[in-house]
Each structure stands twice: as structure tokens, then as C-alpha cells.
Amino acid sequence: MKGILVRTKRALALTAALVTAAALTACSSSSGSTADDPAGDAPEASTEFPITIEHAYGETVITEQPERVAAIGWSNAEAVIALGVVPVGMDTQTYGDDDGDGVLPWTSDALDALGGDAPVLFDTTDGIDFEGISDAAPDVIVAALSGVTQEEYETLSEIAPTVPFPGLSWATSWRDTILTNAQGIGLPAEGEQLVADLEATIAEGVAAHPQIEGLTAAWTYINPTDFGTVGVYTTIDSRAAYLEDLGLVHAPSVVALSKGVETFYVDISAENVDQLDDVDVLFSYGTADLLEQLQADPLLGTIPAVERGSVVFIEDGTPLASAVSPPSALSLEWGLDEYLGLIAAAADKVE
């Protein structure tokens, strides 16, 4: 599996930490082999079984530590991998995949570091690959950050115990994604440690950019071919929630738009964009060229953040877009420095 040729110092540090943790706990690939342990023993559980995990569709009972883990969605697979376990199967990723192999660059790096057999890649062309998952014969299926429906959950549960999201679909934070999946594979203590390590990394990065602290923010989607509406990601959305980890706060307008809403985004018409007047830093998908188009628009150009250019554009479909919207156990560190740099540059334009 090919990894990117150049890694940041943080990414290298995380990879090294994963390998060290795996060695200390005698962890190995759940797919049946590692470079050092062809026998492929499962990582030693840090909890006692059976365990019961409550979630949006009820509860899932796992009677013994899983040795074969299948993951739906990139964030769930990466949480498992970051804990030293190679899934027997995970979804093919196309969004942000820079070399067309179906695996994101930071995921490829971590898998290379762990060694062993590569996971089977499930075909996601038509949604969940039930047949592929069944063929992988997992002991557990993790999907803490996903949009799995009740019907899909029931079908998956016929294959193996399934751990979906604890609250709302697509609204699980990066922390809870790690903690829920860690619980599902019997490594809750390791999950808590991973969260603590990533929080320390974030704190170090944020400290280098004090101008970001306390600024109001909104994550949006603006169709470059149709300025008639602006999509605003609500406070339950994990990419929006991540901004608070970086020292920003949700703009009051975003909080108001999110009130009583159980979806991860809402649309507002261009005629009502004055609702976003309280946004210091606006986030959206696009390139620098889009800013000029927005500033020239008679309605969207009146948004103060657009007028002064305090906008963070993440090019859609790039590795960075996948890494930060939302972040995962592996991508968070991979994209942190670049993301903070873009935010700091926008923050410098706030009066």
C-alpha cells in the first residue's frame, strides 16, 4: 500500500507512538497477521466481557473480545487502526484519496507502520456493502460516525454485533468516535489515552496561533454555480464542532439556526445572509477564486467576513478537506498544522 512520500513531524510522531503502543501491549493485526506476529493474535482487551453498548437503536451485546473488526466509514476505520488494530475490512475511500487506491494517505501510512495483511476494501458505490462485510466474517462491526439507518443496522446485526452512533447520525464528535469504537473492540482505556494524546497535540498547535482564540465561526457550503442559498453546518456537525477545539466559538447565529434541529446542516436563502453578520471567520469549500465571486455578489458580498476576506476555503475533494471536515483519529494530526495556518491567516483580517 503506497503512503505519501512526505509526512509532517506530527504524523511521524503519531505513527511511532502507535507502533510503540502496539509492541508494549502485544497488539497485532486483527486481519490475521502482522510483520512481527504471523499468528495474528488479537490485542489484549482492557475491559471484561461480555459488554453492553447503548446506542441510537438500542443496545449491542458483545460476548467476547473481537478478533476480526469490520468498519463502516473512514473515521471508524481510522479509530480502530489508531488503536493498533488492522480491520479485516473497511470502506473504500474516494473523497480525498490522492492516488486512487481507495485508502486515504494518513490511513495508508498507519497501515504500513502496523504491517500485516491489508484490509479488504468494501465497495461503497451503492451504499453499504453488505455482501463484502459478510464475506469478511467480522466479529464486530463499528460505525460510530455514520448514517446507518435502523434497517441497515438490523441487517448488519445479522452479520455480527454492530456498534452504530450513540446519538444522531453524522453527529458523533471525533472524541466519541474514538471512545465508542474503542469500547466496541474491547480497548476503552486505550481509547481514552488516544483522545488525551490528541487533545494535547491540538493544544500545542492552537497555542502557536493566539489570534484565533475566541473568534466566532461558521462552517458553510456555498454552491459556486448557485448563490441562492447558503448551507450552514449546525453545532451538532462534527466538522463544525471541531472548530471549538481550535479556539473558535460557534457564532450566535449558528447556535440559533441549530436550535431544535436534528440535522447536521440547514439552508438559508441569500436574502437572509445578514444572519451571518456575527461571523468573524467563515469556513467553506472552494478555492481563493470563489472569494472574489462572493465579494462581487450583491447579497453574499455583504457578509462582513466575505467583505474583509476572513474566509477559510478548503478545496473540495482534497486530502485536507477529508482530513479536517471532520477530523478522525489519524487525520486530525495529519492536517492540523495546515488547517491552523489557514485559520490564522483569516483571523489576521478580523478587525
Query: What pLDDT shows up at residue 15?
Result: 38
| pLDDT value of residue 304 | 98
User: For domain 28-203, which CATH number applies: 3.40.50.1980, 1.20.1070.10, 3.90.850.10, 3.40.50.1000?
Assistant: 3.40.50.1980
pLDDT exceeds 50 at position 20? no
Is the per-residue pLDDT at 115 higher than 50?
yes
Whether the pLDDT of residue 3 is over 70: the answer is: no
Examine the pLDDT at 40 and tell me if it is beyond 60: no
CATH class of 210-347: alpha beta
Average pLDDT over residues 232-255: 97
Instruction: Give the tens place of pLDDT for each residue, 48-65.
Output: 999 999 999 999 999 999
- Report residue 67 as a C-alpha cell: 478478533
Grid cell of 44 as nine digits: 489484549
Q: Are strands 265-269 and 229-233 parallel, antiparallel or unpaired?
A: antiparallel
Q: Cell triple for residue 265?
A: 446542516
* Predicted TM-score of the model (pTM): 0.86
Residue bearing cell 502507535:
18
**Between 4 and 136, residue with greater pLDDT:** 136
pLDDT of residue 42: 55
* Cα–Cα distance measured from residue 181 to residue 75, given in angstroms and rounded to the nearest whole number: 10
pLDDT for residue 4 is more than 90: no
Determine the residue type at 254.
V
The predicted-structure confidence for 330-349, as pLDDT tens digits, reads as follows 999 999 999 999 999 999 99
Which one has a higher pLDDT value, 8 or 54? 54
List strand residue ranges (DSSP E) for 162-215, in order: 162-163
* Cell numbers for 96: 480525498
List where CATH 3.40.50.1980 sits in the chain: 28-203, 210-347
Determine contact, residues 151/196, Cβ cutoff 8 Å: no
Mean pLDDT, residues 22-27 taken together: 34
pLDDT on residue 351: 83
| Contact predicate 216/255, CB 8 Å | no
Distance CA 148, CA 164 (A): 7
Who's near 201: CB < 8 A, 6+ residues apart? 10, 14, 332, 333, 336
Out of 27-31, 157-161, 255-259, 301-305, least confident range: 27-31
Q: Classify 266 as helix, strand or coil.
A: strand
pLDDT more than 70, % of the chain: 88
